[in-house]
Amino acid sequence: MQDNRQPVVILVRPQMGENIGAAARAMLNFGLTEMRLVAPRDGWPNPKAVAMASGAAGRVLDRARVYPGLAEAMEGVDFAFATTARGRELSKPVFTPATAMAKARAHDGRCALIFGPERAGLENDDVARANAIVTVPVNPDFPSLNLAQAVLLMGYEWGRDSLPPEPAPQGRRTFGEVLADRVEIERLGDHYEERLTEAGFFFPETKAANMRLNLRNMWSRLSLTRGDVRILHGLLRQLTRR
């Protein structure tokens, strides 16, 4: 059963199955599951789309519905955003993706995000059926976006309020590893400073003190486990064995 709060993604005359599959992946990244296809060039279903959808996103394609025209594809939609870098000659409000999706989240009815074919984007007849235009503020010398990139960008802006403010931290230590204490870090710094002094690294003499200070500061910034410290000691011993 579809979530009537989330926007419908409408791909108008998409040309390549791979791009449809990539768009499905982009949708599912941000919880969008309803795709509608308007007259796909290579017909439907498309095995290349399924291959590109890669597993879980295949369910977006399984539920996708095909329509002969955009008017039919807007069934049940009461507010539509046309994504295009063109069409400003039409008298419509123009939003960035962030502003458009903020409006979509606040809208009580069903919204649609309309994307045009890869080669030329939406035609004016398509844009005329939308309530508003969404234009991405990109490099004016190269405003073109890949279809899946455009879907991903809109999906991200739709889902950003439900996403964590920062990526979940990825623990670098495995179970049982213990962080090295400051004494162990100091001894590691001493070991490297001694060997680097023997190798003539701290040169010229006028800069030596500052080089030692920077090196010591580097060690203090690192979050090393006791295993890391042992490896770094052993590495230095092996390199200076001769």
pLDDT in tens, the chain (242 residues): 455 689 999 999 999 999 999 999 999 999 999 999 999 999 999 999 999 987 788 899 999 999 999 999 999 999 999 998 765 577 889 999 999 999 999 988 899 999 999 888 899 889 989 999 999 888 888 877 899 999 999 999 998 877 766 665 555 555 557 888 888 889 999 999 999 999 999 999 999 999 999 898 888 888 889 889 999 999 989 888 86
Model pLDDT, residue 178? 85
Residues 6+ apart with CB under 8 A from 52: 17, 18, 19, 20, 21, 22, 24, 25
How many CA atoms are closer than 13 Å to the CA of 105, on its beta-carbon side? 15
**179 three-state secondary structure:** strand
Model pLDDT, residue 166? 64
Model pLDDT, residue 168? 55
In the chain, CATH 3.40.1280.10 sits at: 8-162
Report field, pTM of the whole predicted structure over 0.75: no
Q: Which fold has domain 8-162?
A: Alpha/beta knot (3.40.1280)
Distance, CA of 81 to CA of 101 (rounded, Å) = 9
Model pLDDT, residue 142? 83
Model pLDDT, residue 174? 52
Angle of helix 147-159 versus helix 17-29 axis, rounded to 10: 10
Model pLDDT, residue 90? 76
- Phi, psi at residue 182, to the nearest 5°? -65, -35
Residue 170 C-alpha from the chain's centroid: 17
Distance, CA of 99 to CA of 84 (rounded, Å) = 15
Model pLDDT, residue 1? 45
Angle at 79 between CA 74 and CA 82, to 5 degrees: 75
Q: Using DSSP, how many helices (H) and how many strands (E) does the chain show?
A: 10, 7
Model pLDDT, residue 33? 94
Q: Two tokens at 196? A: 């680097």
Distance, CA of 82 to CA of 150 (rounded, Å) = 11
Residue pair 235/191 in contact by the 8 Å Cβ criterion: no
Model pLDDT, residue 68? 96
